[in-house]
Structures are given as structure tokens and as C-alpha cells.
Amino acid sequence: MALVVRTQTLDFLPTVQQIVKETSAKDRIFVWGSTPQLYSFSGRRMATRFVSCTHLVGAYASRPREVRDRAESVIPGTWDMFQADWEAHPPALIIDMSTVDPFWAAHPMTRYPVLRAYLANYRVEGVINGETIYRRL
């Protein structure tokens, strides 16, 4: 049983290895979704103050699905804070969990105008375990 749990728990390691390979220690990254271990295990700083994107889109697991999927922030000013952080520290890589995580599938980055605009400055670098990795141009 421990081997099964451990294997599932470490599924994120190929993504971490790619982040480390493709960035320097002073580069910042952004994870769209809620996978904070990518920051800590890669040793890369967050591009924004948001460890998880739940505050931006109101997608808290405890909320009813119809409320979660509305994509409405529950904290005023979060998108303004997000933009200020991004402008100050644009990430070298974006790791998009909405392409693999069923919880985040209802929240693709293109659904949000701020992120959609930023994606124009990125290209798809690859896909690891279903997670789409974008690199800044």
C-alpha cells in the first residue's frame, strides 16, 4: 500500500525535473491550478503571491460545483494584485494544471482575459503527465 501511495504522491517529479532543467534558480514560475509542491520541489520562486489560483476564480473544493464553476473571485482585488505581481515578475514558465486536473478543467487559462492576454507572450514548450508547459518568448 505504501508503494502505491508513494508512487501517486511523486507523480509531479517529472514536471519538477523539467522546471529545473529549463530555468535558472533566479527565474520565477507560475502554476495555474493548485500544485504548490512544484514551487517548493523545484526551488523556483512564485511569479505571483498566489500559491493556488483558487482565490482568483473562487474554485474552493468546499463550494457547490455550480458556484465553483462560475469563475468569480471571492476576494476583491485579487486580479489586480495578480497583474501587479505578474508585471513585476513575469514567469519564465507557466505550468497549466487545467489540462490534467479534473478540478481545474472548468477553469482553462483562456477563460480569463488577463491570462489570455499574457499567453500571447508564451509558447507551448511541451506536455508532461498531461500538464502543459509554456515558455516566455
The model's pTM is 0.86
Confidence at residue 22, expressed as pLDDT on a 0 to 100 scale: 96
Confidence at residue 61, expressed as pLDDT on a 0 to 100 scale: 58
- Domains of the chain by residue range: 25-136
Confidence at residue 7, expressed as pLDDT on a 0 to 100 scale: 52
Q: What is the pLDDT along the chain (137 residues), one digit of tens a residue?
A: 444 445 556 788 999 999 999 999 999 999 999 899 999 999 999 999 999 888 888 765 565 566 556 566 677 899 999 999 999 999 999 999 999 988 888 889 999 999 999 999 999 999 999 999 999 99
Dist CA 45 CA 19 (whole Å): 11
Closest CA to 30 of 75, 84, 97, 112: 97
CA 95 vs CA 7, 58, 69, 90, 129: distances in Å:
21, 20, 21, 13, 11
Confidence at residue 1, expressed as pLDDT on a 0 to 100 scale: 42
Q: What's the 3-state SS for 4-49?
A: HHHHHHCCCHHHHHHHHHHCCCCCEEEEECCCCHHHHHHCCEECCC
Confidence at residue 67, expressed as pLDDT on a 0 to 100 scale: 56
